[in-house]
Structure 1
């Protein structure tokens, strides 16, 4: 219909954005990045403070590092968290804070404490290098997923455990072996444990009866999978295990359910003395279906014999993947023949 023939009433459409039900607005906002969700406050009076009801919030450098921002990033961050502390209504369930690029965060402790007064279930913190983890984190009894990056963790006096935690990820953290063991053992429902700890740890025992996946990289004297009857997937691909006479029986004694195993032989056992006989498990791991052998040095007789002894402990293996760091044709041929006869 030509413009001049249209009924004027037909051009008067309702304000669709303003008339949306609250649950629809909430559904839209939770799918947006946090900075975009906050910007919807300019759409109308009804939208102005709707973002304050978000149950999921992510704060990162995109909020305080912009081309038109004349404030120092740390000052801008302080301004932002002051506004959020005033306006946020909650309950906040999922919170991510990435301030790894800030040189200083003077209000980080009090802000984290404020956030954790909500019913937080998922908490992710990327903190500035060597910063101390706020002890208020250990008071959050509703946590189900906790991820900490680039911080120093010290034992809080009143820590009673994370009774509901099912996922724990610690990356680039500084922590004592005793505290790490204590945290793990006080998470009775823990299913996923990911550790990337570059600073040397003493021997740690993993006591987690519900654990199904365990991934470790870093430096450690030794590791003992003490009580892990449901453990299905294990990856030990760290920089080095220092102990030369590592006892495989202690490592895998409680691992009857393992199906997927990944090991970096050269990093973990390559420092054994020349002529030292590689040990063999005193039992078979019948559940292992896949074995990834990383950075195998075929010129190292100890590593080679150790690898073969491990393979002999997996009678029902279905998939084998080997990453060879240096190959000798004769040794490689021998290894191929061995696998064909298994």
Structure 2
């Protein structure tokens, strides 16, 4: 055979295998889970490559037929060291021999079905877990989280209560429960009872099903000494329970640096329990022993500026010697009433000579 024809018959070099390991991993991270597993059949050198990649994507390509998609179930298999895991629209079952993901640092679950026992077993078997995201999770029972390395927690869904049992390093929480039911004062206190390192807390779309405002204490049993940033949205401070919640959070957080409160837009026919006058009158006294030495920024957006809200604005101005700026954007109202409230606010005593009050109107 002529030399030129011999060269045509030579096997082509395996250029992919000669790439740097981090480049191969980057390529595999872009493939579906099914295609990643298929690479193990390429050659002897690729037989165990799929077990090395730190991130695996589970999606609808995992199941072969449309019938399998009607009730998908994921069984955990030994892929280590898995570092990031995102599961969506599936049912999670943990087998008895499951020993956990001992390298996992971030876990995101969205629209999944799982029992409380399965969830707690999964979390407790991820000892290095730092970031946890739960979105559109529906479970009518209490769910407990024990994760000693956890630093960030995002939650949105219908769960009666999440008990943060062992999270000594947790510093950032974004909380959006739907139809949260509180049955007694301990239920509320337990949400914050084991978060000594909490620095940033956001309660988005505040909505709680509760039978009595007595469930909200004046202060939490343990102060949130590390809390620096407090964000509460979609809340009506003219409502008894919601004002009580806000006051409790602020009074329990002596080292706050930033507060942002955004009111909700009430529709026609919406009803809420207005704040009794005696409660409004007691607001200044509840702050008598408080000084917010680190508070620098306060924002009130879309608020009604009723008497309870005005009292809160007044005490924060009087008790914040380091305050730099307070922004107030009232709900749309008559110009005459808006100007009257502005004049009243400008007369409030300010502990900080640098405090600027910005009053935003449409």
SS at match of 1:173: strand
Correspondence for 2:261: 263
Shift of the alpha carbon at 1:275? 7.8
| 2:126 corresponds to 1:123 | no
Contact 2:40 2:47 in 1 (8 A): yes
Correspondence for 2:155: 170
| 2:216 corresponds to 1:222 | yes
Contact 1:61 1:98 in 2 (8 A): no
Distance change in 2, residues 1:42/1:137 (3 Å):
closer
Contact 2:82 2:104 in 1 (8 A): yes
Contact 1:275 1:302 in 2 (8 A): no
Work out the CA distance in 2 between the residues paired with 1:152 and 1:198: 11
Query: Which residues of 2 match residues 53-72 of structure 1 at below 5 A?
Result: 53-61=52-60, 70-72=66-68
Contact 2:175 2:203 in 1 (8 A): yes
Distance change in 2, residues 1:61/1:325 (3 Å):
farther
List gaps (5 residues or longer) in structure 2: 1-6, 209-214, 266-271, 351-362
Work out the CA distance in 1 between the residues paired with 2:263 and 2:79: 52
Distance change in 2, residues 1:160/1:167 (3 Å):
closer
List gaps (5 residues or longer) in structure 1: 1-7
SS at match of 1:304: helix
Contact 2:115 2:139 in 1 (8 A): yes
Query: Which residues of 2 match residues 249-288 of structure 1 at below 5 A?
Result: 250-264=248-262, 271-273=274-276, 277-278=280-281, 279-280=283-284, 281-282=287-288, 283-288=290-295
What TM-score does the superposition give when structure 1 sets the normalisation length? Answer: 0.72
Shift of the alpha carbon at 1:90? 1.1
Residues 51-90 of structure 1 show CA distances to partners (whole Å, capped at 9, x for unaligned) of 332222232346559xxx5444146x44xx46x73xx531
Shift of the alpha carbon at 1:23? 3.7
SS at match of 1:172: strand
Shift of the alpha carbon at 1:329? 1.2
Shift of the alpha carbon at 1:231? 1.0
Distance change in 2, residues 1:143/1:270 (3 Å):
same
Work out the CA distance in 2 between the residues paired with 1:260 and 1:98: 34
Match 2:115 to one of 119, 132, 136: 132
Distance change in 2, residues 1:16/1:295 (3 Å):
same
Q: Structure 1 residues 247-256 or 324-333, which shifts more?
A: 247-256
Work out the CA distance in 1 between the residues paired with 2:141 and 2:314: 41
Shift of the alpha carbon at 1:109? 1.2
Contact 1:113 1:137 in 2 (8 A): no
Residues 109-163 of structure 1 show CA distances to partners (whole Å, capped at 9, x for unaligned) of 136984834432222212347x53424224223322222231327458xx79322
Work out the CA distance in 2 between the residues paired with 1:190 and 1:243: 27
What TM-score does the superposition give when structure 2 sets the normalisation length? Answer: 0.69
Cα RMSD for the two superposed structures:
3.9
Contact 1:244 1:271 in 2 (8 A): no
| 2:313 corresponds to 1:317 | no
Work out the CA distance in 1 between the residues paired with 2:279 and 2:248: 19
Correspondence for 1:38: 36
Shift of the alpha carbon at 1:244? 7.2
SS at match of 1:246: helix
- Number of residue equivalences: 308
Work out the CA distance in 2 between the residues paired with 1:319 and 1:64: 55
Correspondence for 2:355: none
Distance change in 2, residues 1:190/1:42 (3 Å):
closer
